[in-house]
Amino acid sequence: MRIGIDAFGGDYAPENPLRGTLLALPELPPTAEIWLIGREREIRATAERIGLPIAPPVYLLHASEVVEMDENPARSIVQKPDSSIAVGLQTLKEGRIDAFVSAGNTGAVVAASVLKLGNLPGVSRPTLGALYPYGENRYSLICDVGANVDCKPEHLLQFAQLGTVYMREVMSIPHPRVALLNIGEESSKGNLVAQQAYALLQQNPDILFIGNAEGRVLTQGFADVYVTDGFVGNILLKFGESLYELLREKVPSNSILERLNYENVGGLPFIGAQGNVIIGHGISSPKAFRNMIRTALSVIQARLTEKIAQAFRAHA
């Protein structure tokens, strides 16, 4: 299991990616490898300063350029072919690593993933999923949270299919329940896209569709997969992050509150591309990077892309 780390992705690179790797090292399976991708000289200098040995299972892959957080995503792919993002995804495409982790420019990672890796057969739009906590150490998956701002009903149906495979194979939920985020429970609620998506979800025999879900039921574990467009999903994701930031200053630390901390989830899986890609927050801490590596290991072990390909091939 070989995981590529964008050592120059994020607001605190290469410091935090390397410190996160250092935290993850004691937990790695014997067969795991970490490939740090970026400017070799700076990686070596930072690694020496923090005590991270550049020796098996840690390796370096030089990439001379960096995509900055404020750069145009599509333009950066063309203008910086030797960026840590481009090199990492090309390495993933060539099969030299099994997953790529980045906390860099999200738009650039998404765009480069689609252009370099391509979508799995039958998938028109991969989705960015976010785990939402509820109950005692349980999570639902929200699809999409920012990769697809404008969606057609058919895209929402595919998000449900992708989310179902992810929760079944990675989170070990045998029959994931799927709900459509909406402004009411009735099938007639919402805009035209939501109403048409409801009909498609209801008709699909491979999805355990349980109807519309209002925002208030997310904390109750109403469903295992919540489907929405990336515009609504991203607002919901960022609101959850802001809620944690507000409450942690007001109330004593507790396990329920900490489950809203993005660091404990780490990163978001980009589901449906021809390769395992985990995207982290730009401010990701070393703890967040360690958990991104954990997520990458989980999707590799679950053979997620293979299982998605099988699911879509079976109903082509």
The pLDDT of residue 316: 59
- The single-letter code of the amino acid at 177 is R
The pLDDT of residue 258: 76
The pLDDT of residue 86: 96
How far apart are the C-alpha atoms of 233 and 284, rounded to whole Å? 20
Q: Which residues of the chain are under the pLDDT cut of 70?
A: 315-316
Sequence-distant (≥ 6) Cβ neighbours of residue 56 within 8 angstroms: 33
The pLDDT of residue 194: 95
**pTM of the full structure:** 0.93
Q: Per residue in 229-261, pLDDT tens? A: 999 999 999 888 888 878 877 777 777 777 777
The pLDDT of residue 119: 96
How far apart are the C-alpha atoms of 289 and 310, rounded to whole Å? 30
Domains of the chain: 1-123+272-302 (3.40.718.10), 126-261 (3.40.718.10)
The pLDDT of residue 315: 67
- The single-letter code of the amino acid at 55 is A
Q: Per residue in 220-233, pLDDT tens? A: 899 999 999 999 99
